[in-house]
Structure 1
Amino acid sequence: MPDTILTNIQQELNLKKLELSALLEITRAINDNLPESALYKIYRFTLLAQLQISRLTLFVHDEEWECKVCYGTEQDFTKQVIPEQIQALTEITRTSKMLVDKKWRAFEIIIPILHNGKVLAFVMIGKIQPNYHNMDALNFVQTVSNIMLVAIENHKMARQRLAQESIRREIEIAREVQSMLFPKSLPNNKDVSIHASYIPHSSIGGDYYDFIEIDQDQFLFCVADVSGKGVPASLLMSNFQAGLRTILRQTSDLNTVVSELNHLIYRNAIAEKFITTFLALYNRQTRELTYVNAGHNAPILLHESGAHELLNDGCTMLGVFDVLPFMQVTKLTIPHKSVLLCYTDGLTEVFDEDEAEFGVENTIKFLQRSRYLSSRMLHLQLLREINLYNEEATLNDDITLLSCRFK
């Protein structure tokens, strides 16, 4: 056998060994689940060292074209926009056959990397060893690049799935926390009938209502709304509820209760979280209602005559200031057969096709014509009313209703 043939066979064998070594390097890095940046470094080292390529640039399409690897060139290609002529390539092409700017001629060959008919990247190589001018070698570079890029894409998809699973679990936890916050039962006796409805905009929201017996004569009820959604909102609301019940064991003075709650939320809230709330203390014997409205939507007190009051007095929302800048605790005597409706802003902030808000006025009109309905039907009909207000509308926020019918 002539020496030249033996030399060629030996060179081809050496090339195959290098290619196999390169493939093993990349495969090992992928199996080790290394981060994307580490994979690119190993990829660069493998092609430069094992395959003896001395000039290399890799452009990857990740929403837009981005240079991930740049080595052996005078030009910094990380700051260059890949030409449209190159973007149009689907086959291995020599730059000598292309009408591209001189700087792109630093590379001899451009290798498109495709997956499922889609171009993922372009490998540009220059100063190639003689053995790498044959098509088999270039196809191997294409194969190695494809394996690595598809692996990176799969890692991204796996991370997205993990993130989605984490969000799903977060929502489950938040839903569990929220369900534990709502009272298990509400009174319906000779003095009052309290009914509540909660309609979430999504799986978990920041609305909350509560009913707490203070003694045989007094009870407290409240409606609240935390800024934000998800676990942070539900945890802050859990903090609010725990704080409220702890403070009420010491005192039922609303001035103190609200001030202490504000301090608690201010210390525990994060990233611009705050709470609006309406808290009311009712005495069954004296029929006296004492309330504080902390930046919340004004509850509507409807008298038997059809006249109404909006319960606005109180303070700012809780958690914004370390010390509340002002406070007003209001007391009023509740006439017989009055109805108080507390709600969150998801009720009134529904808009019709002309962008007109359902608002407080429409809520008052509804109460005036529907006040003799049972508490349950009152809520159902009110929710139906806002759905009819704009049948095309989707709820932008949670809706919480709490009505108290004073007998």
Structure 2
Amino acid sequence: MLSTQVLGCDPASISFDSSSDQLQVASQDTLHSLTLAAQNIIDLKPVAFPTETVYGLGALALNASAASCIFSVKGRPPDNPLIVHVSSIEMLHSLLPSSFRMPRSYELLMKRFWPGALTLLFPSDPKIIPSIITANQPTVAIRMPSHPVARALIALVKAPVAAPSANSSGKPSPTTAEHVRRDLDGKLGVILDGGACGVGLESTVVDGLQDDGKIRVLRPGGITVEDIEQTLQEGIQDSETIPQVLVYRRDYRDSQLEAAPTTPGMKYRHYSPSVPVTLLMTSSPPPEGSVPSTAESYLASLKGQLNPSGSVKIGVLALTDSTLGTSPLPVVNGLEWCRHELGPISDPSVTARRLFDGLLTLDQRGVDLILIEEVKETNEGLAVMNRVRKAASELRWITF
């Protein structure tokens, strides 16, 4: 077992020159932490570090042995590809085939959202990108993170860094260094602590390489579909055709893609804590022929279902101003409720930021079951529901 160090980093002390991408670090303590972490990665050892989305587990992307350590630390299936992180446009171009011509849609999206929580699929050159990164697919997923600590770390390594979320495979993604430490303590040498992640959900993954020119959102995330559509509409000239934006599973299905995914988060169950999760459908219509339960009767029945003769603790992730979030929960002997607020209905970005922290916090508090309230699938709500559906083992329709 390794001795895991948690090293503090001050994101405010890190900056990049806008014209040259030159890194500057004002804090000597932060520079020391970054330098130590960078040396670990250069020495083929994985490091956990903050990004604006979630904490990542990073290793050299162009070294198969280094990348294999990510899979062993996480217990990650080998057919689940990794996202490659770069610190500059120059580093991006060093990874691409010489024959590749950047689509206009990519130019617009990169100008608006890079650095940031947008991952783009590019053709993979097998002479450059190891097959362990792409899971033998012809494309590679690449993004440039905006978190100062992440970008500084990659710049100091002077090489692309492959990084999935820094958690055991299948668990909720970590949004604080403490989340990482609880899960992976003893499995890696360094965790950089740059504070809580601002977005709280993984990046949006986009494929714009198909012959029809359409933009396919393979995984909704920190950049909303609405923002992507607006960027393309504003950037494409009148004489050009504005690409249609399609969301995987919402607007189309692809059985071949499901069997051999080109990006993380598509094939396996994800984001699940150690206890069961039930998604409460409070606004969507129930399946034809089924009758929803009343919220009061369903909630009151849980004690008897889980442990009739003993004590039960149930976590509730609910919107702050929803009926579920504001209504008193049933008083049942031997049943303890643990609420965790997901933020207001009007701001799904807050829900996105609080979701994984809520799952991990309630799990640590020792609940026997977690209930999550449905949110509207617009803006960040689309990504929230994508994660919740994968975490939940049961859906229940309830009415108030």
TM norm structure 2: 0.24
TM norm structure 1: 0.23
Pick 1 or 2: higher relative contact order, CA cutoff 8 A, min separation 6.
2
Mark the structure with the bigger radius of gyration.
Answer: 1
Richer in helix (by share): 1
